[in-house]
Structure 1
Amino acid sequence: MAHNKGNNHRGNGKPAPSNKTAYNRTTQGKKNAGKGNAGKSVAGKGKDRGTAKSGLIFVISLILIGALVITLAIVFLKDSGSTSLKDLPNYTEIKGNYAAEGLKYEKQPHLGDPSAKVKVIEFADFKCPACKKWEEIYMSQLQKDYIDTGKMELFFTNYAFIDRDSIMAASAGEAIAAQSNEKFWEFKSKLYANQGEETKIWATPDFLLNFVKKNLEGIDYDRFEKDLKEHTYMLPVKEDFKTAGYYGVNGTPQFMVNGELLPSSSYEELAAAIEAELAKVGGK
């Protein structure tokens, strides 16, 4: 963002020469002094030229140093970016067959009574700050109001779109869910609590391995490490992403209630949609 520095008055602050000074330079009594001053002025011009030349060299030196600094910074950032993106695939690198059409409830981590008539899908990215905020503010309320009461079943679907480490974090979640559905929801909550900055690459393999080792018990860590490093669950992440896009998801978090995608992520709208579906089936 540009910032206004205010008016600069330095260029307009020179006082005009007084009439007295102008008069003294032209009086007969000061001719010799004027000539002397003229001689000094010629010498001063020589000094000015030398000063100007030195100043020009100084400016050129600064420009060259600045160019060198910028070049080194670009090289450093390029190298650090390459390092941070190591082992982080993009979607074009994930090969395999998948079907974008069809809501694949059976493939997703789920929470709640499987016999509940209302099925809610949450589309989210683990790097998304809004997803973290929703988790912290509304998740416990949703669980209390609708999940624990058996009124709805919640499903999680990856919409990993922010950066390449979004895909890595999503694949880690898939690897946890493959071992334990219950542990996935613990992983989800704790990873949001340890979320890094959206604009930085933080969900790297090293971070995720260390995070799971420190924060999740009751899983086969060696299996998780193998699955993460071998990209075992990258294709399901891509399938999630393509399926979400097929049904119109364009941001996170976003919710779908019994197949209908909601236009916003507000809790009030989600609750109203759930209540409307419950009314259709007689309460539960």
Structure 2
Amino acid sequence: MTRLVPALSAAALLMAGAFVFSDQPGRAPASWLVGSAQAADDAAEIDTSTIQDMVLGAEDAPVTIVEYASFTCPHCATFDQGPFKKLKADYIDTGKVKLIYREVYFDRYGLWASMIARCSGDTTKFFGITDLIFKGQNDWVRAGGPSEIVDALRKIGRLAGIENDQLEACLQDNVKAQTLVSWYQEHAKEDGIDATPTFIINGKKVPNQAWDDFKAVIDAELAKQ
């Protein structure tokens, strides 16, 4: 059963993590988590075009798949660690499919994970970190309280080769955090996303399903070309 996307405001998501960054010794408070009213006002002025789509595959691939997934969604982790490997090997790497990956934020933890994954600004590294986040999902989401969870995510970032100073800069970036939330909300509303993982295959909304069924949808689109 896929997980439904709750109607969370940008302010609510950002405020949910206010104490995590401000209670870390030696780290400056995250100003973007100070007040919900300020977050809501700022969100209205955010330019979401600054957020980069994470893309795998040939630009001219005949099939485009947009994947909506949350880093805290167990079904998304299952897809990443199983069917995605087949999708990449059989369709993306062979030039048949272009994948556009878009994060969904159920909660503050998924937002923090996204900020870690995007920290390097490199698409290849993003997908590598995404794989590490999903592979270790059972561990980091159960690491303890918010402080322990964000520390576990920092460890994943360091494992991927991101330096501590860069990780902290990414986690403290108020503009990026608010922009990511607004970006997610815009796309989720536009594509009618109410569960994860959900896929848009050549413009058609496709729910999570067994690999053989998913593959059949792709093959049917390829047959039209």
Same-fold call, TM > 0.5?
yes
1:98 is displaced (CA, Å) by: 5.0
TM-score by length of 1: 0.58
State the distance in 2 between where 1:159 and 1:124 align: 5
C-alpha change, 1:129 and 1:264, in structure 2 (3 Å) is: closer
1:220 is displaced (CA, Å) by: 5.7
RMSD after superposition: 3.2
Is 2:200–2:206's contact at 8 Å kept on the other side of the alignment? yes
Secondary structure of 1:270's aligned partner: helix
C-alpha change, 1:113 and 1:173, in structure 2 (3 Å) is: same
Count of residues paired in the alignment: 192
Identify the match of residue 223 of structure 1 among 166, 183, 193: 166
Matched, 1:249 2:193: yes
Identify the match of residue 109 of structure 1 among 54, 60, 65: 54
TM-score by length of 2: 0.72
Q: Which runs of 5 or more residues in structure 1 are unaligned?
A: 1-80
Q: Percent identity?
A: 26
Matched, 1:154 2:99: yes
Give the corresponding residue for 2:127. Answer: 185
Q: Deviations over 1:6-38 (max 9, x none)?
A: xxxxxxxxxxxxxxxxxxxxxxxxxxxxxxxxx
State the distance in 2 between where 1:229 and 1:271 align: 40
1:85 is displaced (CA, Å) by: 8.2
Matched, 1:128 2:73: yes
Secondary structure of 1:120's aligned partner: strand
State the distance in 2 between where 1:258 and 1:191 align: 27
One-letter amino acid of the counterpart of residue 192, structure 1: F
C-alpha change, 1:264 and 1:198, in structure 2 (3 Å) is: farther
Larger Cα Rg: Structure 1 or Structure 2? Answer: 1
1:211 is displaced (CA, Å) by: 2.3
State the distance in 2 between where 1:153 and 1:85 align: 36
Is 1:120–1:258's contact at 8 Å kept on the other side of the alignment? yes
> Greater share of strand residues, 1 or 2?
2
One-letter amino acid of the counterpart of residue 275, structure 1: D
C-alpha change, 1:144 and 1:259, in structure 2 (3 Å) is: same
Give the corresponding residue for 1:8. Answer: none
Q: Which runs of 5 or more residues in structure 2 are unaligned?
A: 1-16, 23-29
Q: Deviations over 1:59-79 (max 9, x none)?
A: xxxxxxxxxxxxxxxxxxxxx
* Larger relative contact order (CA 8 Å, sep ≥ 6): 2
